Amino acid sequence: MDQLLRDLVLVFVLAGTVLLLFHRLRLPSVVGLLLAGVLIGPHGLAVLDDSRQIDRLAELGVLLLMFSIGLDFTPDRLGELARALRLGAAQMLICIVVTALVAAPLVGWARAIFLGMLVAHTSSTLMLKVFLDRGESASMNVRLGLGISIIQDLSVVPMLLAIPVIAGAGATAGGFGLAIVKASAAVGLAVAVGRWVLPWILEYAVRSRDLLLVLVIVVCLGMAWTTTLVGLSAALGAFLAGIAIAASIYGHQTLAEVVPFRDVMVSLFFISIGMLVDMAGMAQHLGLAILVAACVITLKFMSGFVPVLASGYPVGTATAVGLGIAQIGEFAFVLGHAGREAQVLQTELFQPFVLVAILTMLVSPFLIALGPHLGRALERVSALRRLTGRALAHDPEESRENHVIIAGLGLNGRTLLRAMRSLAMPHVALDLDPTAVREAREAGESVVYGDCSRSEVLRRVAVETARVFVVAISDPRATRQAVRAARQANPAVHIIVRTKYAAEIEPLRNLGATEVISEEFETALEILARALHVYILPRSRIEETVDRFRGNAYQAFRGPSPIPAGDAILGALLPTLQLETFALPPGSPAAGVSLRDVDLRAKTGATVLAVRRQDRMHTVPPASFQLAAGDVVILAGTTRQIIAAARLLEPDTGGGSEGSS
């Protein structure tokens, strides 16, 4: 036990040091864990005397990883799966077939196919992190890349089933069919247990966090053990355990409980993989490894580029997706580990594979950064331009002027599109999602397939004669390019831009946007308005406050601005005085009552300065003045006094106040 604790402390101290360095250098953490394993292992500093106990813990990490995938196998994800199936299947098929054809003369068909399965996988974590750092987490590039990665993640299960067949154990159609039958029966059993047995048990377990965690571990390891008894993979059993719990209503909470423990164990798994690598021996073949890594990157790029381009997306999007998946991912190590145990992948092949995978991960952030530049270069290729131009060839040619152009068919774009149609206002929409464009056209909408950041596409929708251009897409880079292109084409067009972050407001205004609506800033203003409403402030006062903050948005981002001298003097003389209007609602206890009997000043401290009734203003009304429903009362006092007066004037039913100006 002392030896295990010592080994774990040394492993995590060194791994933490390496991860800190990689975080500073903005490099993938998976690569850091692999390199930490290289340093710790027998071919590095030989820190561990016996790595077998670490290997056992690492295998537990694999089980928890597969378990968490099963937990995430929800109906929502199945919806994403249906849409991404074509792209993901094409991407994996290209990788497997090309790798097998190239490697078969060297290692044989069985191992060549298995190598293709390893190459097909992508690090979705790394891809998402890089795009997130670039502010493109919600762009079409990320949605397509993650869709492909979903197919890759789920393909791990049939690939694990295929490993014994590839290894020669039951390498017949009957043997493989029997494995499929066993797996299907296990899936059915897992779903049945998850629907009818586990909910009853979990209902009691969720009352205690500790009990829930223990039950989760029992289900995960128990299912893994059961599948090994029938000749299936333990990782498959863990995956089925995740499916069983995901079928209940407690799947999301279970995933939240498992993730921290899983991440620690998975870290040990990657460290244990690195411990197998002899970097000194591999350094002799570093040149060959770099060449192989370059070939793998090229293959991975083409496996994403070609299917995306063939599906009707533009060259820039296909380029970004291809470069986003052009690295070998984490699940390739899971498969490689299983293949090494089944003797499909010997150490002399496994070590070069790990080195090539590390190289592809290291260069991936730089490749993604090159995406826009490479996309523009490829767009100049006439053959590719003609291929993508076919989608635009069916766009309706209409004479447009004084119309609204809507870029993006997300929630905002679709809502605006319906509003324009209901008002019979001339409009046209743009989007890069072929499916969304086709569905909108089938619904009778005026929609054009195209990239709103491209000036030639904007010319197709007559931006030169448009009155309003609304940019409601989620890609910050494309948004900026669209604003610039539209402003250059039409200096008079009114450009309204939706952006996620408040920091984008000023750069977009500098590029030519007329109005910039920040989701982040507008959410803050809505929270402010609702908080003020709790205090029954008059609506006019709330709207004035919100408008003041909205109008001073740029000054707020730049820091405090100087107060004009006149305002400073007035503020010093009347530091707490507020003027507010209040519309007397029907049912108010003050309706039909004189100001003397209402006695606001004595009861609240607020003073009635004037009353507006229809078109007539009664300035400093006498005490005998009788209030009526619909009167607009102008009050003076502190905020607290005005709130008290508003409550007094409200109907007894507690209805909201209405202010006017």
The two beta strands, 404-407 and 427-431, are: parallel
Q: How many domains does the chain have?
A: 3
479 and 508 Cβ atoms separated by less than 8 Å = yes
pLDDT at 384 over 90: no
301 and 322 Cβ atoms separated by less than 8 Å = yes
SS (H, E, C) 123-161: CHHHHHHHHHHCCCCCCHHHHHHHHHHHHHHHHHHHHHH
- Max distance between CA atoms of the chain, in angstroms, equals 106
Residues 365 and 459 in one domain: no
Q: Which among 499, 519, 546 is the end of a domain?
A: 499
Residues 371 and 399 in one domain: no
125 and 106 Cβ atoms separated by less than 8 Å = no
What pLDDT score was predicted for residue 446? 87
Q: What is the overall mean pLDDT for the chain?
A: 78
Residues 123 and 37 in one domain: yes
Residues 362 and 415 in one domain: no
Residue with tokens 């490689």: 336
Comparing C-alpha atoms, which of 339, 359, 358 is closest to residue 349? 339
Residues 45 and 89 in one domain: yes
Q: How confident is the model at residue 197 (pLDDT cuts 50, 70, 90)?
A: confident
Fill in the amino acid letter for 406.
Answer: I
**Which of 28-32, 319-323, 372-376 is predicted least confidently?**
28-32
What digits encode the pLDDT tens for the residues 455-479? 888 988 899 999 999 999 888 888 9
Residue with tokens 């291809």: 322
Q: How confident is the model at residue 168 (pLDDT cuts 50, 70, 90)?
A: low
What pLDDT score was predicted for residue 82? 62
Whole-angstrom Cα distance, residue 245 to residue 216? 9
Residue 99: burial class (beta carbons within 10 Å; 0-12, 13-18, 19+): buried
Q: Which among 499, 527, 558 is the end of a domain?
A: 499
Residues 419 and 369 in one domain: no
Considering the domain boundaries, does residue 510 fall inside one? no
451 and 388 Cβ atoms separated by less than 8 Å = no
What digits encode the pLDDT tens for the residues 306-318? 998 888 788 888 8
With residues binned 3-state (H G I as helix, E B as strand, rest as coil), the percentages for the chain, rounded to 5, are: 65, 10, 25
Whole-angstrom Cα distance, residue 244 to residue 306? 37
Residues 476 and 417 in one domain: yes
Residues in CB range of 26: below 8 A, 6 or more apart: 133, 365
Fill in the amino acid letter for 445.
Answer: E
Question: What three-state secondary structure class fits 560?
Answer: coil
Beta bridge partners of 517: 498
Residues 359 and 407 in one domain: no
Whole-angstrom Cα distance, residue 661 to residue 644? 20
Q: What percent of the chain has pLDDT over 90?
A: 14
Q: Which domain holds residue 640?
A: 576-661
Q: The CATH number of the domain where 449 resides is what?
A: 3.40.50.720
Considering the domain boundaries, does residue 380 fall inside one? no
The two beta strands, 607-613 and 616-619, are: antiparallel
Residues in CB range of 451: below 8 A, 6 or more apart: 314, 316, 430, 432, 457, 478
CA-based Rg of the chain, rounded to a whole angstrom?
33
Q: Which among 481, 499, 517 is the end of a domain?
A: 499
Name the more confident of 171 and 590.
590
Considering the domain boundaries, does residue 506 fall inside one? no
Cα angle: 76, vertex 82, 83; to 5 degrees: 100
Q: What percent of the chain has pLDDT over 70?
A: 81
What pLDDT score was predicted for residue 565? 43
Which tokens is 307 given? 């299917």
Considering the domain boundaries, does residue 537 fall inside one? no
Whole-angstrom Cα distance, residue 281 to residue 661? 81
Residue 170: burial class (beta carbons within 10 Å; 0-12, 13-18, 19+): middle
Residues 128 and 258 in one domain: yes
Considering the domain boundaries, does residue 257 fall inside one? yes
DSSP 7-71: HHHHHHHHHHHHHHHHHHTT--HHHHHHHHHHHHSTTTT---S--HHHHHHHHHHHHHHHHHHHH
CA count, 13 A, side-chain hemisphere, 244: 31
CA count, 13 A, side-chain hemisphere, 600: 26
Name the more confident of 330 and 479.
479
Q: How far is CA 377 from CA 137, 296, 370, in A?
A: 24, 22, 11
Residues 366 and 410 in one domain: no
Considering the domain boundaries, does residue 154 fall inside one? yes
Considering the domain boundaries, does residue 528 fall inside one? no
What digits encode the pLDDT tens for the residues 409-455? 888 888 888 888 888 889 999 988 877 888 888 888 888 888 888 88
Q: The CATH number of the domain where 279 resides is what?
A: 1.20.1530.20
Whole-angstrom Cα distance, residue 26 to residue 181? 45
407 and 413 Cβ atoms separated by less than 8 Å = yes
Comparing C-alpha atoms, which of 487, 549, 550, 492 is closest to residue 513? 487
pLDDT at 404 over 90: yes
Start-end of H helices in 502-586 = 505-511, 519-534, 539-551, 553-558, 565-573
Whole-angstrom Cα distance, residue 195 to residue 566? 71
Q: The CATH number of the domain where 650 resides is what?
A: 3.30.70.1450
Considering the domain boundaries, does residue 201 fall inside one? yes
154 and 240 Cβ atoms separated by less than 8 Å = no
Residues 461 and 357 in one domain: no
Phi (first) and psi of residue 652, to 5 degrees: -65, -20
Residues 179 and 107 in one domain: yes
What digits encode the pLDDT tens for the residues 71-103? 766 555 555 566 678 888 999 999 999 999 999
Residue 147 CA to chain centroid, in angstroms?
Answer: 12
Sheet holding 468-471, edge to edge: 447-449, 427-431, 404-407, 468-471, 494-499, 515-518
